[in-house]
Amino acid sequence: MIQVLFVCLGNICRSPMAEAVMRDLVKKKRLSNKIGVDSAATSSWHIGEPPHKGTQDKLREYGISTKGMQGRQLQNADFDNFDYIIGMDESNIRNIRTILGNPSSPKIFRFLDLTDHRKDVPDPYYTGNFQETYDLVLEGCHALLEKIILEQRL
């Protein structure tokens, strides 16, 4: 099974939003038996907590569930356990590499580098704009799913 891990600072806004959106897209493509999706934080601030209320509310608007999701911190074993490790911003990428022992690997990349935006996903915890984050996450997840389907010949 192909494993995808989305990573942000706290694992309560952006990465769980990406996890939920990607799971929804994977399910709609009938690839749930071939692609697994998870999310994690580079910090330990919100371990065990559900996604932020703003993330839950925004996903609920689109009929996407966050049931059972809770924050966790990135671990060394994640490098071996995941085929794609996607940071939501450049700071996340630096922190991912530090936590994982500075691996130089194409499996670690910034989320929106797959799109024409080539920027960081803004953190709605600070901006309050969950719609902007959702729109960028949806676009990024479509691009990532296309990449996985092509690379993995699904």
pTM: 0.96
Which residues are annotated as catalytic? 8, 14, 123
Between CA 121 and CA 84 the distance in angstroms is 17
Per-residue model confidence (pLDDT) at position 117: 85
Interaxial angle between packed helices 130-152 and 14-28, expressed in degrees from 0 to 180 and rounded to the nearest 10: 50
Phi-psi region of 48 (alpha: psi -120 to 50; beta: other; left: phi over 0): left
68-104 tens-digit pLDDT = 999 999 999 999 999 999 999 999 999 999 999 878 8
What pLDDT is recorded for position 104? 85
The Cα 46–Cα 62 span in angstroms is: 25
Give me 119's structure tokens: 């920027």
Reported as type and span, the H/E element at residue 22 is: helix 14-28
Tell me the CATH number for domain 2-152: 3.40.50.2300
Report whether pLDDT(48) > 90: yes
